[in-house]
Amino acid sequence: MTSLRDRGKGAAVPTGEEPAERDPQGTAPGAPVLRVRGVTKSFGGAAALKGVDLDLYPGEIHALMGMNGAGKSTLVQVLSGVHQADGGTVEVGGHVEHGMTVRRARRLGIASVPQRRELAMGLTVAENVLLGDLPTRGRAVRWKAVRDEAREALHALGIDIDVTRTAGSLTVAEQTMVEVAREVRRGGRILILDEPTACLSAEAAQQIRTLVRTLRDEGVAVVYISHYIDEVMAVADRVTVLRDGAVVQSAPAAEFDAGGLVRAMVGRDVVSRRAERPGPKDETGLAVRGLTDGRAIRDFSVDVRKGEIVAVLGPAGDAQSRLFDLLSGRRRPEHGELHVDGVPVPFGRVRASLAGGLRCVTGDRRALGLVQELSVDENLMLAGDRFARRRLHRRGHLARRAAPLRRTYGVVSLAGNPPVGALSGGNQQKVLLAKWLQTEPVACFLEDPTNGVDIAAMADIHTLVDELASRGVAVLLASSSPEEVMRLADRVVVVSAGRTVAEHDTTAITRDELVATALGGQAQ
């Protein structure tokens, strides 16, 4: 068995020449591979990190948790050399590193896989894995060697992806895997994964977790950032919780329970349990019949009564965004029918969909939800003012109309009315919901409404969705989180490969049964 380092240098290195440097089991870590002591960092007078300590051992999965703005990203940026720490020390492999740069971090084997995947989408998987290090003869690329080496690099981590596909054709999970394989091949010993399972289906998330465990078993030190409590409890060996730029707790994962973890992150208990709502009315608010798009959605049907929340679990990623495209009118399906409030709504026309009273809230707020350059208030009113057929635009009026929305939806911004891109993820998500839900819809399609938001914002958003249903709106919720489905939905429709495989009343099923159905559906 070759060690990871050997592979990192390519196939030419014979096995066993280099002694194994680490204990591959990771059970008896000697010295930490990374030791952070008292690191501080401020931006323009605001302290983002207030003396953070962190020990990272080879062969451990170290979860880093905290709310948005707790300092996770800043810490990661300091470790990977993007920002310089103001004070404190970072020690890698026993040497104190002064003035870490991106280049230096890379040389030391610190690699991060950001949330927005960074692959060259037009190139093949093989080229991406070997990017910057293509095997050549003279100046000509040896294409066969490229494919072979890439295949081997993927295989070593148990990843099964055809290396001749282009990166753009991969699913998000596959892109993550390719990126991990690239970093490991380059000699990454400390791998920082930023929310690698956000927006993934249960099955894809499972694959990522398997990969992360493989990395650990190979002796890599993994920093794992995630908002999903259950996931962290399942996968992490050690958990460090940051709050307001300081470590509040760092302990083996076994010493945490879910409630304690939330308390550590938020500083108080967060109550987000099923709310009592008036039961659904008898009228159907949203009816979808036989929706087929020839790709990700096949013969999908659902009925949502007014005041009811129906969750669609399973169609994560591609299929979920296809559902958004079809319902919002961005794309035309091959066939299918859509009725809102009993009235047929034509497909393929955004404005017809809106006029019918259907509001579709995207899960991809950056690409399809908000105009990043426009101010918070303008984004809040972007859709509403169009329905009101306003012609004149005055800033004072805009602020006055937006103020109650900011209050109702809990949008917090300290700098008045900045471009919406400057807000935290949770606040942006609230702006997005406020933009759509203020317009008194008949029916709503919500795609992963709590994607990438911290646990407090998540609880707020769940309350908002509850209120929406209480007002008598028919809510169709596409979610990849079983917790969210159990928390919000009256009924859940489990979808696999574009087809409905099961339908349950959420009061008549436990979370674990739901997960089992979803996974079983995936396996079919």
Partner 1 sequence: MTVKTRPEPPGVGTPPAGSGPRISLGALRRIPHVGLIAVLAVVVIFTAAQSETFATDRNILNILGQISVNAVLAAGLTLLMTAGGMDFSMGSNVAVTAAVTAKLIAHGHATPLAVVVSLLLGTALGLVNGVVVTFTKVAPFVVTLATATLLDGVALLVHDGNTISIGQHMFTFGNEKVLGVPWLLIVAVVVLVATALVMRFTVFGRDAFAIGGNEHVARLSGINVTARKLTLYGLTGLLSGLGGVMLLARLGSSSPGSTAGLSLQLSVVAAVVIGGTSLAGGHGTVLGTALGLVLLGVVANALNLLDFSSNYQPVSVGAVLLIAAIANEMHKARAARH
3-state SS, one letter per residue, for 451-509: CCCCHHHHHHHHHHHHHHHHCCCEEEEEECCHHHHHHHCCEEEEEECCEEEEEEEHHHC
CB of 351 to partner 1, least distance (A): 6
Backbone angles phi, psi at 8, to 5 degrees: -60, -25
CB of 418 to partner 1, least distance (A): 4
Q: Is 47 in the site for partner 1 (CB under 8 A)?
A: yes
Contact 60, 36 (CB under 8 A): no
Considering only residues 415 to 454 of the shown chain, the ones binding partner 1 according to CB under 8 A are 415, 418-419, 422-424, 435
Binder among 233, 246, 374, 464 for partner 1 (CB under 8 A):
374
Alpha carbon of residue 186 to chain centroid = 25
Binder among 373, 503, 505, 513 for partner 1 (CB under 8 A):
373
* C-beta of 132 vs 396, nearer to partner 1: 396
* C-beta of 299 vs 373, nearer to partner 1: 373
- Applying CB under 8 A, the span of 9-17, 199-207, 287-295, 363-371 interacting with partner 1 comes to 363-371
CA distance 186 to 524: 37
Q: Is 144 in the site for partner 1 (CB under 8 A)?
A: no
Q: Is 270 in the site for partner 1 (CB under 8 A)?
A: no
Matching residue, tokens 């470790």:
79
Residue 209, classified by CB atoms within 10 Å of its CB into exposed (0-12), middle (13-18) or buried (19+), is middle
CB of 221 to partner 1, least distance (A): 30
DSSP state of 367: I
* C-beta of 383 vs 502, nearer to partner 1: 383
Q: Is 69 in the site for partner 1 (CB under 8 A)?
A: yes
* C-beta of 220 vs 434, nearer to partner 1: 434
Q: Is 129 in the site for partner 1 (CB under 8 A)?
A: no
Binder among 12, 394, 508, 512 for partner 1 (CB under 8 A):
394
Of 156, 148, 250, 236, the closest CA to residue 193 belongs to: 236
Contact 334, 297 (CB under 8 A): no
| Angle at the Cα of 444 from the Cα atoms of 439 and 450, rounded to 5 degrees | 100
Binder among 203, 385, 501, 509 for partner 1 (CB under 8 A):
385
How many amino acids of this chain bind partner 1 (CB under 8 A)?
40
Q: Is 414 in the site for partner 1 (CB under 8 A)?
A: yes
Of 524, 449, 519, 455, the closest CA to residue 485 belongs to: 449
CB of 392 to partner 1, least distance (A): 6
Binder among 351, 396, 508, 523 for partner 1 (CB under 8 A):
351
Q: Is 488 in the site for partner 1 (CB under 8 A)?
A: no
CA distance 199 to 399: 33
Q: Is 20 in the site for partner 1 (CB under 8 A)?
A: no
Q: Where are the beta strands (DSSP E) in 293-391?
A: 300-305, 309-313, 335-340, 343-344, 358-361
Matching residue, tokens 């489990």:
494
Q: Is 378 in the site for partner 1 (CB under 8 A)?
A: yes
* C-beta of 210 vs 372, nearer to partner 1: 372
CB of 348 to partner 1, least distance (A): 12
- Applying CB under 8 A, the span of 23-31, 388-396, 468-476, 508-516 interacting with partner 1 comes to 388-396
Q: Is 390 in the site for partner 1 (CB under 8 A)?
A: yes
Q: Where are the beta strands (DSSP E) in 182-299?
A: 190-194, 221-225, 238-243, 246-252, 284-292
Contact 361, 445 (CB under 8 A): yes
CA distance 436 to 446: 10
Q: Is 369 in the site for partner 1 (CB under 8 A)?
A: yes
Q: Is 98 in the site for partner 1 (CB under 8 A)?
A: no
Residues sharing a CB contact under 8 Å with residue 67, sequence separation 6 or more, in sequence order: 243, 265, 266, 454, 455, 456
- Applying CB under 8 A, the span of 140-148, 198-206, 348-356, 454-462 interacting with partner 1 comes to 348-356
- Phi-psi region at 442: left, alpha or beta (left = phi > 0; alpha = psi -120 to 50): alpha
CB of 48 to partner 1, least distance (A): 8
Token pair belonging to 149: 């080496």
- Applying CB under 8 A, the span of 108-116, 183-191, 199-207, 390-398 interacting with partner 1 comes to 390-398
- Applying CB under 8 A, the span of 4-12, 185-193, 360-368, 463-471 interacting with partner 1 comes to 360-368
CA–CA distances in Å: residue 162 to residues 19, 186, 206: 32, 20, 20
CA distance 230 to 511: 12
* C-beta of 206 vs 424, nearer to partner 1: 424
Quick check: helix, strand or coil at residue 68? Answer: coil
Write out the residues near partner 1 by the rule CB under 8 A. 44-47, 69, 328, 330, 350-351, 354, 360, 362, 367-374, 378, 382-383, 385-387, 390-394, 413-415, 418-419, 422-424, 435
